[in-house]
Amino acid sequence: MKGTNLGEFEELVLLTIATFVSDAYSVAICDELEKSSGRSAKLGVVHAVLNRLEEKGLVKSALGEATSTRGGKRKRFYTVTNGGKAALLKAKEVRDGLWSRIPAFALK
Amino acid sequence: MTKHPPRWAERLLEWYCKPELLEDLQGDLNEFFDRNVKAKGVRRARFIYVLDVLKFCRLYTIRKPDSITLLLHWIMIGSYIKTSGRSMLRNKLFSSINIVGLAISMSVGLIMIGVLVDISSYDKFHEKHDRIYRVISQRQHLGQDDGNFNATTSRRSARAIQETFAGIDDVAVLHRGFEGDMKVGEKVLPLTGFYANEGVLRVFSFPLLKGNPATALKAPFSVVLTELTARKLFGDDEPIGKTVIMNQDKAYTVTGVMKDVPKFSHMKFDMLGSMSTRDIAETASKNEWSWDNVWSTWVYLELPEQADLNAVQSRLNTLSRKEDPSTPNTHIQLALQPLDNIMTGENLNNQIGTILGSTLLWVFAGLSFVVILSACFNYTNLSVARSLRRSREVGIRKVIGALKHHVAMQFVMEAVIISVLSGVVAFVLFLLLRPYFINLQPDLQQLLVLEPSPFLVGCFFVFSIVVGLAAGIFPALFFSRINAIQVLKNATSVRLFRKVTLRKVLIVFQYSVSLMLITGTLIIFKEYKHFVSFDLGFSTANIINIRLQGNSAERLKKELRELPEVTDMAEAWLVTGIGHYAGEQVRNPHQPEDSALVYFNRVDEHYIPFLNLELLAGRNFMTRPDSSEEREVIVNQQVLKRFQLAEQNPQRAIGEVLHMAGKELKIIGVIKDFRYGKPGNNTPNEVMLRHAVKDAGMLHVKIAGGDNAATYARIESLWKKIDPVHTFSAKFYDDTIKESFSGISASVKLAGFVSLLAICIASMGLLGMVVFTTETRLKEISIRKVLGAGEGKLMFLLGRGFFMLLAIATFIAIPSTYLFCDAVLLKRMANPAPLGVGEGLVGVLSVMAIALVMIGSQTLKVARSNPAEVLKNE
C-alpha cells in the first residue's frame, strides 16, 4: 500500500499526537509543534497532514464534547493507532540503525 | 464593533466544505479568531479569518457534488421543458411579447457581438502581432498640443530608432503617397499603396508568393504587387522583373508578388514601393527629414518577447530631448501603441486606414446594454405579473416535494428556453439588419463583415443563454420563495409585488426615454429635409457632375453634345454647396494691412449662366488663350461688403483690383450671393470665381428631365469609350448634396431604429403593468359591475392611472427634448430649420396611440368579463 512510509512533517505530527496521549486536537498540535520544533506550523497544513494520516490509518479521530469556547463547535481529538505506533517505531529503528553505523569521528 | 468573523466567509466555508469536516474546521477557525482578536485586533483577525477560509479550500475539504440532486435535476428537466412549453402555449400573448421583445433587443446585442468579434480579429493574422508596436506622436507648439496623438511620426525619428536603439528586433516604416496610375503596355490601372522599407516584409506577415522577401524592397524603384493587382496588370504572365510606369513618369521594376492583404488588416494597399525610392526622388524636399514633419510616416517596432516597454519609452523621450532643438518652440512627444490596440483604441489623427475607434464602440456597447437590460426587466415584470396564475402550480410542486432550488431551476429553465427561442428570432433579424447596418456608413462597409461564422453563432448561443439567466433569475427567486400552504389556501392573499411605486417610476422613465428619442429623431429628420432642399442660390436639378480624372474636357464635351438629352454643360474645379472648400488670402485694396480669406472656385465661362447665378453688374469671363495670364475675377456681394468696396455698389466695384498670392486680379463682374459651403456649416461666405483656362477637373452636365437613369447609363457608356482605365465617377448634384449630409441621415436611421426599440420595450413594460393591475382588481371590477357601473366608466377607472403616468412622461420628455435640441443641436448648425410644435405632437400622438391600444384592449377585456363567472369562485 502506498504511504505506509512517513514523511518528515507527518512523523513530527504523529509524534506530537503521541505526546498528548488523548487530548490531541488540531490547534493544540499546531501550538505544540511550534513550541517543540521552533518553526511555524500553519493550521491548513496541519489539517491536511492529519487528514492524510487518518486516510493511511495511522491515527483515528473522534469528536469531543461541545464547549462554550470555539463558538460552540466540538473538537476532533486524534489518537495514534497500532499501525501508527508500528510506523513510528519502524522509523526510529531505521534512524537508530543508520546512526549506529556512522563512525564516531565523522560527526564530531 | 462585533467580535464576530465575517458572515459571508462563514457561509462560504459552509457551502464548500464537506459536512463531516465542517464542524472541526469551524471550531479551529473560531479559536484562532478569538486569539487573533486579543493579539492583533478585530479588523486584522477578520482579515486573517477570510484568508484562512480561502486557504482551507483544498481538494480534500471540498464537498463532492450531490449526485442525487444532480440526478433529480436531470430527470426533472424533461418535466420543466414540458410545463414551460405548456405555460407558454397557454399564454400565447405573453409568450410572444416576451419572445419578440427579447428578440428585438437581442438583435442589437447580436450586431454588437458581431462588431466586437470582427474588430477583435483585426491584425491577428500577423504572427508577431503581440510584439508589434506603433510609434505615435504628438506635436506641441509653444507648449500647446494640437489635440490628439497622430498615428504617424517623422521619418527622422524612424531613422534614429533604426540606427541608435538597442533592444528592438526590427523596424517597419511606411510612408504615404505611393499611388497613381500604373501602366503596363497598354493597360493602365489606378492603384494605391505605400512606400515601405525592407522591414515591412519581416515584421508583418505579408508572405511573398514570388520574389525574395529579403531583397524585394531594397533597391530604389522596386514595387511589390498584391496577387490580385498582379493578375489585373499582367494576367497570367510572369510579373517578376517586368517594368511598370507610374503616372507616365517613373519606371518601377516588379520584384515581388505578395498574398492579398487580408480583410482584417488595419492597413490596406494594392502595392508597396521601396522606401529607398524616396531617397532618390525626394532629395529636393527639405521637409523629408525634418523633425516636426510628423504627418506622413508610420513606424512599427517589433520588440523582443517580454520587452520592457518603459525602457523603450524612456529612450523615445531621450530622442525627443535630443532632436527638439532642431525645431524652435516645438516639442514632439513620442509614444508606443500596441498593434492589437489600433482598431479598438483611441481615435488618433492620420490613421493609415479607417478604424472604428473606442468612442463609437463604447457608445454602441452602452446602447445595446441599456436596450437588453430593459428587455430583461420587462421579462421579469411580465412573469411576476403572471404570478397569480403560476403560484398555485408552484404551491403544488412544493407540496409534492420540490425544494426551493428545484422551483428556481424550473423558472430559470423557462427563461432560458424563451431567450433561446428569442435568440433564433434575433438571429433572423440580425441577418436581415446586417446589410442595413453595414451600409449605414461607408466606413462600416470597409471595416466590417459580420459574417455569421460558426464561432459567431456559438457566441450568439452563449449570449442568449446569458440573457435568459439574467432575465429569469429574479422570477426564479420570487417563485421559489412562495409559501406553499398560504398559496394553496388562498391565492389572492399573497402580496405578490409590493414595489408598485418602483414600477410606476420605471414606466415613466421608459416612456420619457421613448418620447425623447422619437421627438429627437423627428427633429433631426426635419433638419435633414431642410438642408437637403436648402435654397443654395442656384439650381441643382437634373445636373450630373462628372469627375474628369485627367481626361480632356473638350473631348468628353464633344461626345456629349451628340446626345439629345444633354442640354448644357459647364466646367468647374470643385462642386459648391457640399462642404468642399478652397480659399486664398486676399488683401483689402484700400487697407493694405487688412486681409481676409476668400473662398474661390475655378470655373469656365459657361458656369454662371449654367447654374443660373445672377450677374448684378459687369460681365462674364470670355474665352482666352490657354497660355494667357490670369487677370480677371468675379466676386459676390459679400466680398464687397467685407472689404467695403465702392460702398457695396456692384456697378462701381467693377475695375477694382484684388491682390492675392502675388497676383493682381481685376473685378470684372459682381454676382448675387449664393451658398458656396455646406448650409449646415458656419463658414463665411465671401466667394470669388476665377477663370479656369483648361480642364477644371469637374464637368457639370445638365440633362433634360425624363428617364434620368437611362441618360446616366448612356453617358457612362460614352465615358467607357473615352477612358477605359478609370471607372466612371459621376453623380447627380442632388444626390451629392444628400450624401454630404449622410452623417445626419445615418443618425436619423440609427436613432429611428433605437426609438422603435425603446417604444416596443416600453409598451411591453406598460402592458405587463396593465395586465397585472387589471387581474388583481378583477373582483373589485365585478362587484362594481354588479352594482351597476358601465363599461366606459370601468375602463376610465382602470386606465386613469396609466394615463397620468404617460402625461407625466410627456411633461418630462417634450420640454427637455426641445430645450436640448435648441441649446445643443441647433446651436452647432448654421441656418437650421426652426423648431416646430409638429414634431413633438406627432411623437406624443404616436406613442400615446400605441399605449391607448394596449390599455384599452386589456381594460375592455376585464370590463366585459362576466361578473357571475368571477364571483362564483369565491
Is A51 in CB contact (< 8 Å) with chain B?
Answer: yes
Least reliable range by pLDDT among B97-101, B613-617, B649-653: B97-101
Last residue of some domain: B314, B341, B368?
B341
Question: Based on the domain organization, do B604 and B728 belong to the same domain?
Answer: yes
Could you tell me which of B120, B108, B124 has the C-alpha nearest to residue B449? B120
Whether the CB of A44 is below 8 Å from some CB of chain B: the reply is yes
Residue B692 lies in a domain: yes
> CA nearest B354: which of B264, B260, B263, B267?
B267
Please list the ranges in chain A whose pLDDT falls under 70.
1-4, 105-108
Same domain, B853 and B764: yes
One-letter amino acid of A9: F
User: Which one of B283, B314, B341 terminates a domain?
Assistant: B341
Number of domain units in chain B: 4
B216 part of a folded domain: yes
Amino acid A2: pLDDT: 47
Residue B67 lies in a domain: no
Answer for the pair B127, B205: CB distance below 8 angstroms, yes or no.
yes
Tell me the average pLDDT across B55-72: 76
Q: What would the pLDDT profile of B544-565 be if each residue is shown by its tens digit?
A: 998 888 788 888 888 888 888 8
Domain co-membership, B143 together with B50: no
Every domain of chain A and the residues it spans: 8-101
pLDDT at B3: 73
Does residue B178 contact residue B272 with C-beta atoms inside 8 Å?
A: yes
pLDDT, tens only, B341-365: 888 877 777 788 877 777 777 877 8
Partners of A75 on chain B (C-beta within 8 Å) are 24, 27
Map residue A39 onto helix, strand or coil. coil
Round to whole Å and give the CA distance between B462 and B464: 6
- Tell me the C-alpha distance between B344 and B356, whole Å: 7
Task: Tell whether B505 is covered by a domain.
Answer: yes
Contact (CB<8Å) B24/A26: yes
Q: Name the residue among B382, B402, B414 with its Cα closest to residue B481.
A: B402
Answer whether B27 sits within 8 Å of A71, measured CB to CB: yes
Query: Which of A27, A47, A48 is the closest to B31 by Cβ?
Result: A27
Chain B closest-CA separation from residue A48 CA (Å): 8
Q: In this complex, is the C-beta atom of A31 within 8 Å of any C-beta atom belonging to chain B?
A: no
Which amino acid, one-letter code, is at A34? E
Element at B255 (helix H, strand E): strand B250-258
The confidence band for B224, taking pLDDT boundaries of 50, 70 and 90, is very high
Per the structure, the complete domain to which residue B647 belongs is given by: 543-735
Burial call B457-480: b when 16+ CB within 10 Å, e when fewer: eebbeebbeebbebbbbbbbebbb
Q: How far apart are CA B698 and CA B610, in angstroms?
A: 14
Task: Kindly determine whether residue B28 and residue A71, on different chains, have CB atoms separated by under 8 Å.
Answer: no
Q: What does the block give as the cell for B579? A: 462642404
What is chain A's alpha carbon radius of gyration, rounded to the nearest angstrom?
Answer: 16
To the nearest whole Å, the CA of A98 is away from the closest chain B CA by 36
- Which of B719, B735, B751 is the endpoint of a domain? B735
Q: What local confidence, expressed as pLDDT, does residue B285 receive?
A: 66
- Kindly tell me the sign of the dihedral angle through the C-alpha atoms of B472, B473, B478, B481: positive
**Of B4, B10, B18, B23, which to mutate for an interface test with A (greatest number of A Cβ within 10 Å)?**
B23
The reported pLDDT for the residue numbered A42 is: 82
Q: Please, what is the average pLDDT of chain B?
A: 84
Q: How far is the C-alpha of B436 from the C-alpha of B748, rounded, in Å?
A: 13
Please judge whether B26 and A73 are an interchain contact, meaning their C-beta atoms are less than 8 angstroms apart.
yes
Any domain includes B537: no
Residues B322 and B391 occupy one common structural domain: no
Which of A43, A51, A63 faces B28 most closely, judged by CB atoms? A43
**All 3 cell numbers of residue B764?**
411591453
- B28·A27 Cβ contact <8 A: yes
Encode pLDDT of B131-154 as tens digits. Answer: 999 999 888 876 666 567 888 898
- CB pairs A-B closer than 8 Å: 46
φ/ψ (deg, to 5) at B816 = -70, -35
Report the gap between the CA of B61 and the closest CA in chain A (Å): 9
pLDDT score at B87: 83
In chain A, whose CA is at the least distance from the CA of B23?
A73
Grid cell 428587455 is found at B375
Three-point CA angle B488, B492, B498, nearest 5°:
120
Same domain membership, residue B376 and residue B327? no
User: Which pLDDT score is estimated for B695?
Assistant: 66
Structural element, H or E, at residue B51: helix B42-55
Measured between CA atoms, the residue of chain B closest to residue A42 is: B52
pLDDT at B273: 92
Chain A hits for B23, CB-CB cut-off 8 Å, are: 63, 73-74, 76
- Contact between A71 and B58 using a beta-carbon 8 Å cutoff: no
DSSP B152-202: -B-HHHHHHHHHH-SS--EEEEEES---EEEEETTEEEEE-EEEE-THHHH
Instruction: For residues B441 and B447, give the distance between their C-alpha atoms in angstroms, rounded to a whole number.
Output: 10
Pairing, β B615-618 against β B632-636: unpaired
Closest chain A residue by Cα to residue B22: A73
Least confident range of B213-222, B317-326, B818-827, B850-859:
B818-827
Q: Is B484 a domain residue?
A: yes
Q: In whole angstroms, give the CA distance from residue B760 to residue B847.
A: 10
Residues 6+ apart with CB under 8 A from B764: B97, B101, B378, B382
Subunit contact B30:A71, Cβ cutoff 8 A: yes
Q: What is the pLDDT of residue B132?
A: 92
CATH 1.10.10.10 for domain A8-101, yes or no, is: yes
| Whether the predicted pLDDT of B626 surpasses 80 | no
Distances (CA, A) of B468 to A68, B86, B375, B852: 48, 18, 11, 30
ipTM value for the complex: 0.85
Do B665 and B795 lie in one domain? The reply is no
* Contacting residues of A for B61, CB less than 8 Å apart: 47
What is the amino acid identity at position B724? P
My answer on whether B609 and B662 are in the same domain is: yes
| CB-based contact B258:B196 (threshold 8 Å) | no
A31: nearest CA partner in chain B = B32
Residue B46 has pLDDT above 70, yes or no: yes
* Burial A71-101, CB ≥16 within 10 A → b, else e: bebbbbbbbbbeebeebbeebeeeeeeeeee
Q: How far is A30 from chain B (nearest CA, A)?
A: 11
Query: Cα separation of A30 and A20, whole Å?
Result: 12
Confidence class for position B301, pLDDT limits 50, 70, 90: very high
Interface of chain B against chain A, CB under 8 Å? 21, 23-32, 34, 52, 55-56, 58, 60-61
